[in-house]
Amino acid sequence: MVSAHNLVMHRPLVDRRCREKMNGHRSVVLWFTGLSGSGKSTLANAVSAYLHQHKVQTTVLDGDNVRFGLNSDLGFTHADRTENIRRVGEVAKLFLEAGMIVLTAFISPFHDDRVRARKLFDKADFLEIYCRCPLEVCEERDVKGSYKRARNGEIGNFTGIGSAYETPVSPDLIVDTDLTSLEESVASVLALLRQNGVIDAPPAIQLVP
């Protein structure tokens, strides 16, 4: 293991504040959490697309996509899920320093892992968004067929079936994705960004088809 005593933090000439000034907006991490099928990725990508239309720098870190590359060596044990979220938090921090609005869409089922991720950032730089949706609705959607496979015993430790989802205690925003339209959900996220001084008041919502 490399000793921290042998490392020196490099300070870039072009830092976060420089990039924020160039972009015309503050950088922040939006941490979307919720059950599979609750609409995390759909909402994160819709918010990203809207912001992109308005010249705001964003990137989306999606749970499945990250496991194709960076976290392809991880399984779904408790320890692997914890490491999955630890790595995502560190990557999100890099994008934050690059001056971007980072939208992460991960089940991140364990309370301690989400707390650990939040502690990587200053209070104003991390906004937790709970995509709340009843398990039965997520199962009805079953957009990936995962719930059916989990019920048939083909997937072990699946969140909501074989592994618990620990509900966020005090998220910065709760979006009831079974009760609100995508446009309404996007509007609530934009309002959160505006309230926290990340962006100015947005114009009317017109989502990319």
Active site residues: 108
Q: Which residue has the tokens 């590359």?
A: 69
DSSP letter for 4, please: G
Q: Which residue has the tokens 């430790």?
A: 157
Sign (positive or negative) of CA dihedral 127, 133, 135, 138: negative
CB crowding 153-163: b at 16 or more within 10 Å, else e: eebeebbbbeb
3-state helix vs strand vs coil in the chain, percent to 5: 45, 15, 45
In sequence order, the 6+-apart residues with CB closer than 8 A to the CB of 164 are 109
d(CA 112, CA 108): 10
151 burial (CB, 10 Å; 0-12 / 13-18 / 19+) is middle
Coil, helix or strand at residue 105:
strand
